[in-house]
Structure 1
Amino acid sequence: MFDNLSERLERSFKILKGEGKITEINVAETLKDVRKALLDADVNYKVAKNFTDTVKEKALGQNVLTAVKPSQLMVKIVHDELTQLMGGETAEINIDARPAVILMSGLQGSGKTTFSGKLARMLKTKKNRKPLLVACDVYRPAAIEQLRVLAEQIEVPMYCELDSKDPVEIAQHAIQEAKAKGYDLVIVDTAGRLAVDEQMMNEIAAIKKAINPDEILFVVDSMTGQDAVNTAKEFNERLDFNGVVLTKLDGDTRGGAALSIRSVVNKPIKFVGTGEKLEAIDQFHPARMADRILGMGDIVSLVERAQEQYDEEEAKRLQKKIAKNQFDFNDFLSQIAQIKKMGNLKDLASMIPGVGKAIKDIDIDDNAFKSIEAIIYSMTPAERSNPEILNGSRRTRIAKGSGTTIQEVNRLLKQFDQTRKMMKMVTSSKMGKMMPKMKK
């Protein structure tokens, strides 16, 4: 995500490295490069020009402290302006009503249906809401089936009327159903439509009028770049939506949509889709995204994702096992499962400051744990619980059963042993510090 833009901006700032102070000449040279980087990222030309003009004005108006290098000051100004460009503050979704109604809109193939499922799961787990997914795409039977599968996966009910071809009527009936059965959130998934299709645009406007949604979200594929911004403008003129959802931000996107859309339609980006998994959805934070674009990582989001998977009771149980040196391969599998739930591995690693650039050209497959899991699943329950019994003949059997080599099995066992010792050492150290406090 934004890899090319990040690299180009870093190169632009190098123009100022070694310079004693900011001058109109070196600022102009740097910002010429920044503007080119933004345009190459498919940012709207007017947005890119206004952005660099503002940065130039602020840079030349600064009284630079001798302790601050010109390149550092420029990074700070660009960071602040990128944050403002993408909305400044984090925008919340309006779901105060009971039931709250969310209307999804967007182009064909933008990822509306998948996002509807992701949003329902997020609001169910994080906000303790009782969602009802509504299938209003009467033109594509596969869309109804797709929503049904998603609903089953996240254990949320779905409302559809296979014998009706009127999406307005279906949406109205769904809200009545929600009120009758106590669902406090209704997410209406509509058919994908082209902005130039007048009949379809009239239809979604009619749905809006009939159900008066609390929130209208416009879902857009971020890989379409500048086209996404133009489409958003046309949809906004018809629907006056409340916020934007950028999907497929994990792909080879140039970032133009994320950087332009707020300025063009004056509506906030509220969510981003960062992968295919149902957990791969994040609330959009402009300042954090600016951090990532400038190669500073996003440690706050990384910690938040980890906390989502954190189970306090499980952590206490694990701590006791580690203290007694009883951490086994069943626990190891459990930890791997939690990491995998956090999202795309390369995306997670890039949130660590400085790591994104280092792994830019390295392919980190989401199947990175596959061989480790295969080895562990080839062990008997007794072997997983008691790694000490894994002698030579058992290791040979495990290698054959998992389709790996004896060397890979030995390497995993060695790493596991080292991890177990390190975890025990850390836990013992913490317990030692706590003992004096407990005696008091």
Structure 2
Amino acid sequence: MHTLEQLRAGQLAGLRRLKLSCGLTEFPYEIFDLADSLEILDLSGNALSTLPDDLPRLHKLRIIFCSDNLFTVLPAVLGSCAALEMIGFKANRIRHVPSAALPSRLRWLTLTDNAIETLPDELGKCSELQKLMLAGNCLDSLPATLANCHRLELVRIAANRFTALPDCLLSLPRLSWLAYAGNPFTEARELAALAGTGAAGVAWQRLELAQQLGEGASGVIYRARLDGVDDVAVKVFKGAMTSDGLPRSEMAACVGAGAHAGLIPILGTLAAHPQGALGLVMPLIDAAYRNLAGPPSLASCTRDVYADGARFAPAQALAIAHGIASAVCQLHAHGIVHGDLYAHNILHADNGACLLGDFGAASMFAPGSPQGEVLQGIEARAFGVLLGELIAHGATPVPALQAMLEACLQEEILRRPRFDAIERALRDMLPA
């Protein structure tokens, strides 16, 4: 974090990344002193409602974040910033997105938690678009032109007003990660899951919280003691909206998934929290498990970041691939797509044992329906990306995984293998 005083004193000359969060109501014109170096500008957490018309003077600006401000319109001047490729205006009051606000090089657009009712047809002209985050708005349709965005890989439209899944998404050749829960057309299935026997409530009073174990975009995970006896993990959701959708939808998917060795078990949903917070109670995971990778960076956009030197022996890579395929097969059989099938949501041990977690982007579908077949094909592409990463970080080549990868990444969605077939094929590859 930088300060306005540092900026005004000229102490930030040559800076490539600037972050100011100090109650700003107007854009500080001293930022233009950084025009020859500034690439990333983060003005989140202020009280801004406009940007200056001469913003393009920041000719190297690639990324701008203005989340948690007071914008009601996405500033049209953004479209005139020649190098701009990433825009993040989460949690504002935006109702209108002008077509002029979309720069030609746009790769990543985040407008989560606003009040947007429509998007311009010109969005379909953003040929470089890879990531589109629209959860928590008032949308009931998407521009049909979005079908032209052939590089689009990740879409979040959860918690809007859709009465059906937009057709324009179902033919995108590279779409891999899709979240659409919390809309009118998913509500009945989510409520049914939450009313099932797997959603038994665990009263807050039965828990003794200990140390914090971790924190993500949607919630905080604590170690706790249940009934003074069992050590458990408790995930307490932060609020009514996450970057992927609604806590209620995540809970519905978790309890609706059923038990499987490759899924983190759910002991119950959190009940009677003093502030009414939602949450999940889970067993503690053995400390031998660790994240397979880190989440995507600003540079990698839709690709996970692995630790330097990460290497997987062939048997380990096969075990991870099979374990995750088996877990996803279970989800699909229960009418659930994970929506965020990434290495950073996988815990693994050295022997190849693994657990698939984080259901924040999970969504429900009707098993056996034509649309369900397409959704499973979309998730197969995400699995293909994961296989590619396991291969890239493999200690030695595994030709059978390469063949599976190619099948999962083919452009025709319905020609990609289903996870029951993937699981069987990978099981046959495992060492005896």
TM class by shorter chain equals under 0.3
More helix by percentage: 1
TM-score of the two chains, using structure 2 as the length reference: 0.24
- Structure with the bigger RCO (C-alpha within 8 Å, sep 6+) is 1
TM-score by length of 1: 0.24
Considering fraction of residues, name the structure with more strand: 2
